[in-house]
Amino acid sequence: MSCACKNTGNVQISNREEQIYRDVFNMFDHDPKDGEITANELRITMVNLGLSVTISESLDIINELDHDQNQKIDFNEFCKMMGKHHHHCIEKDCRQVLIDDLQRAFHLFDLNGNGFICKDELREILIKTGEQDVSEAEIDEILKLADTDCNGMICFDEFVRIITHE
């Protein structure tokens, strides 16, 4: 499916980047996956990820990104925001910006702080991000894809590989 996301201002994005944007967007658009992120959906997802956000703060975020002023972020508006981040990334050392972002995300997933994401942590974060119906087989499959050293856990390097598809 093609969208206006392909050209976000002066920044072109690849099909892989668009899919990553879509996956992240879908983490927030979970009730009822209607193609728009409301302030409440944004707040719930951010709180589930361990961030302290009020409904007023999440509404401020929505209003900043909401170009058509309907109090929701659609996928194209989300892509424009991501494109601005992408453009900022190009101006800096893009790889380092990505690694910094991924380290922050990894620490949100690594609930016990031991440097690994185990099966229970993976299940918990999937549920917190709206994947309530995820089966044990699906969790095992994700773990199998990511866990290249077969120790039953995902380390940071494996996390980077699975997220960036490298």
Residue 113 tokens, joined = 């702080």
- pLDDT given for residue 74 in this prediction: 93
How would you class 53 by CB atoms within 10 Å of its CB: exposed for 0-12, middle for 13-18, buried for 19 or more?
middle
Name the CATH superfamily, with its identifier, for domain 14-89.
EF-hand (1.10.238.10)
The reported pLDDT for the residue numbered 4 is 43
**What pLDDT is attached to residue 166?**
60
- Cα–Cα distances in Å, from 5 out to 29, 56, 60, 92? 17, 28, 23, 22
For the chain, which residues make up each domain, given as ranges? 14-89, 93-161
Which pLDDT tens digit goes with each residue over 61-95?
999 989 899 999 999 888 887 766 655 554 456 66
**14-89 and 93-161 have identical folds:** yes
Which residues, including other chains, have CB under 8 Å from residue 37's CB and lie 6 or more apart? 25, 28, 29, 62, 72, 73, 74, 78
Global pTM reads: 0.55
Task: Of 64, 65, 63, give the one whose Cα is nearest residue 78.
Answer: 65
Contacts of 55 (CB under 8 A, 6+ apart): 39, 40, 43
Q: Where are the beta strands (DSSP E) in the chain?
A: 7-8, 11-12, 36-38, 72-74, 116-117, 154-155
**Tens digits of residue pLDDT in 111-159:** 999 999 999 999 988 887 777 788 999 999 989 989 999 999 999 999 8
The hierarchical CATH code for the domain 93-161 is 1.10.238.10
